Chains A and B, each alone.
Chain A
Amino acid sequence: MSHFPKPAEGSWTAHFPHLGTAPVSYADSISPEHYELERTAIFGRTWLNVGRTEQLPRTGSYFTKQLDAARTSVIVVRGSDGQVQAFHNICRHRGNKLVWQDFPGEETSGTCRQFTCKYHGWRYALDGSLTFVQQEDEFFDLEREDFGLVPVQTDVWEGFVFVNLDPSNETSLADYLGRFAKELSGYPFGAMTQVYKYRSEVGSNWKLFIDAFAEFYHAPILHAKQSVSEESRKLAGVGFEALAYDIDGLHGMVSSWGGMSPPKDLNMVKPIERVLRSGLFGPWDRPDIGELPPAVNPARHAAWGVDSFVFFPNFMLLVWAPNWYLTYHYWPTSYRSHVFEGTLYFVPPKNGLERLQQELAAVTFKEYALQDGNTLEATQTMLESRAVDRFPLNDQEILLRHLHVTAGQMVADEQRRRGARDSDVREGVSASDVPA
C-alpha cells in the first residue's frame, strides 16, 4: 500500500509512458564499443557542469577540468571583462597541454595574468589571444590572430559554470536545463560557500553510480548497519517511497521525505547526533535563507527532507530541507571506471558549534557513500558476466529507467547520424568510380 499518493495512472512510471515497464538489459554499461559512442553522442554534445563561479573570484582566476569522456581538458578562466570563459587546454604551437602542474593528467587552479606554455614559452592573454611567440621571426607567415586558444561554449546558471564541447550546438544552457533549473532559480547557492569536496575513483560504468543515487529503495537495506538496530528493523519493514517524481525532457527529479533533522524520536539517532544536533540530513537548526523556489518540495509535504535533481548527463543537485546543498558529478574514464565527486555546500558557520555540526554531516555522508561506492564494483563485474540480461526495475527506480532510456536514445541518434554520413561517403565514392 502506498504511503504517499501516486499519479492517477497508478504508478509514477506509467505516468511517463515512453519509459515502458519492461526489464532492462544494462548492455549499455558493460561494453567498450557502446562507451565510445557515448563519448561523442553524450559528452561531446551536452552542457556539462565543470564548477562554480566561487572558484573564480577575480580576474585571472582559473581552474582546469579533465574531461576524459570528451577527450579533452578545458581551462575555465575569469577574464578582464569579468566574464567566465572556457578554452581547450591546448597550446596552438605543437599541441602541448597548456596549463598543468607536475602531472599532466591532474587538474589544477590558480590566478594568473596570462597563460604561458611550459614547452616553448608561447603566451596567451586571458581572452585566449596569442600575445607572444618565442623567436617569432623563425616562423613562416605566422599571423598571431589565427592562433589564439580554441574557445568552448561557456555559460553560467545560478553560479554553476557549464561548457558544451560541440561548436555547432545551438541550444542555450537555459533551454537545455529546462523547467527544473528555471524553477530552482533564486535558491541562494551563492551564499553557501563552506565547501567539503570528496573525490573517488570508482570501478564501474558512470551510469551505475547515478542509478545508485537516483533511488532510495536501497537505503533501508544497504545502509541498515548505520542505524541503531531497532531503528534499522523498522526502516527495513517500511521500505522506501518517494513523495514525488518528475521528468522534464532529459532531466529527472525525486523528492524524498526525511524525518531525521531533527528526528521525531531522539532514540532514532546516535548519541553524538543528539549532542551536536546534526547528522546525515544536515544540522537540525537551519539557517534562514528565505522562501524556497517552487521546484523544491513539489508535493509541498510537511515531512519533506531532500530533493535530488538529475541533470543529464552527469550532474546531480540535492537540495536539503535543513538549507544546504550537495552536488554529485560522475566523470567517465572508461566503460567500467569513472571519477566521482561529491561536494557539500553550507552557509558559512557563525561559530565553532556550527562548524562541528557541518563536520558531522560531511563525515556521515562519507560513511554512506563508501558503502554505495563499494557495491558498484560488485555490480559492474557481475553485469559483465552476461549471465543475466533482464533486470526488473520497480516504480521507485523510475529515474534509472529514464537515465538509461535517455542515454540510449542519444547514442541511437548518433548512430543514425553516422549511418547517414557513411552512406553519403559511399555514394560519393561510387559516383567518382564511374569511368568518365
Chain B
Amino acid sequence: MSLPDGFADLEPFAEWSLPTERERYAKRLASSMDELQAFYDAAFPRLPDAVAYLEQSRPEDLPEDGKRLLWLCCSLVNVSFPVEVWRQARVPDSGAASLDMVIEPVI
C-alpha cells in the first residue's frame, strides 16, 4: 500500500502523489477534464478524513505513506479550480503565459 491505512479507496489515484507543484501542475495540464473529474470525485469526499490524519503531525514528521497522502491532497488542491469553477484544465484568458514554481517546501 502506498497510502496510510484507511485510504485504500484512493490507491487507484496514487499516481497523483507527486512531490512537487511542477509535476502536479504538469499532470493536470496533461489530463482530460474527465480524468480530473474522476480524481476529484474520488478524493474530495475523503478530504476531511485526510485533514484529520494530516493534522496529527508536522509535515516533516509524516511517515512515507503520510507524505504521499499529503502530496495527493496537494494535487487535489491543484485540480480544484479546473473542476469547481472553469471546466477546463488551464485558467481562462492565460494564453501562453507561464509562471514556474522555482522554490517550494521540500515536504
Interface residues of A (CB under 8 A from B): 194-202, 222, 225-228, 270-272, 275-276, 340, 342-343, 349-353, 355-356, 358-360, 362-364, 366-367, 369-371, 373-375, 377
Q: Which of B11-19, B30-38, B49-57 contacts A (4 or more CB under 8 A)?
A: B49-57
A272–B99 touching, CB < 8 Å: no
Q: Which of B40-59 contact A (CB under 8 A)?
A: 44, 47-48, 51, 53-59
**What would 9 more interface pairs be, CB under 8 Å, given A356-B70, A362-B101?**
A196-B104, A197-B103, A349-B59, A351-B59, A353-B54, A359-B77, A366-B101, A367-B81, A375-B93
The distance in angstroms between the C-alpha atoms of A249 and B73, with both chains bound, is: 46
Q: Is the CB of A197 within 8 A of B58?
A: no
B residues near A270, Cβ cutoff 8 Å: 80-81, 84-85
**Contacts A270-B84, A351-B59, A373-B97; is A225 near B102 (CB within 8 Å)?**
no
**Subset of 13 A-B contacts with CB under 8 Å:** A197-B101, A225-B85, A226-B91, A270-B80, A272-B44, A272-B47, A272-B84, A275-B51, A276-B51, A340-B99, A362-B101, A370-B94, A377-B95
Chain B: interface residue total (CB-CB under 8 A): 42
- Residues in A neighbouring B70, C-beta threshold 8 A: 352, 355-356
A residues in contact with B85, CB < 8 Å = 225-228, 270
| B100 near A198: Cβ-Cβ < 8 Å | yes
The contact of B91 among A276, A350, A355, A367, by CB within 8 Å, is: A367
Instruction: Give the distance to chain B from A131, nearest Cβ to Cβ, in Å.
Output: 32
Of the candidates A227, A364, A374, the one whose C-beta lies within 8 Å of that of B97 is A374
A-B contact count (CB 8 A): 134
A contacts with B: majority SS: helix
B77–A272 contact, CB under 8 A? yes
B68 to chain A, nearest CB (A): 12
List B residues at the A interface (Cβ < 8 Å): 21, 25, 44, 47-48, 51, 53-59, 62, 66, 70, 73-74, 76-78, 80-81, 84-86, 91-105, 107
Residues of A within 8 A of B73 (CB): 356
Q: Which residues of A contact B77 (CB under 8 A)?
A: 272, 276, 356, 359-360, 363
Chain A contacts for B55, CB-based, 8 A: 351-353
Q: How far is the CB of B78 from chain A (nearest CB, A)?
A: 6
CA distance in complex: A276, B98 (Å): 26
Decide: A374 and B54 in contact? CB cutoff 8 A.
no
Closest to A365 in B: B99
A314 CA to B13 CA, complexed, in Å: 43
Q: Which of B85, B99, B105 has the most CB of A within 10 A?
A: B99
Contact call B101/A374, Cβ cutoff below 8 A: no
Residues of chain A with a CB closer than 8 A to B91's CB: 226, 367, 370-371
The residue on B at minimum CB distance from A358 is B105
Chain B: which residue is nearest A202 at the CB level?
A: B97
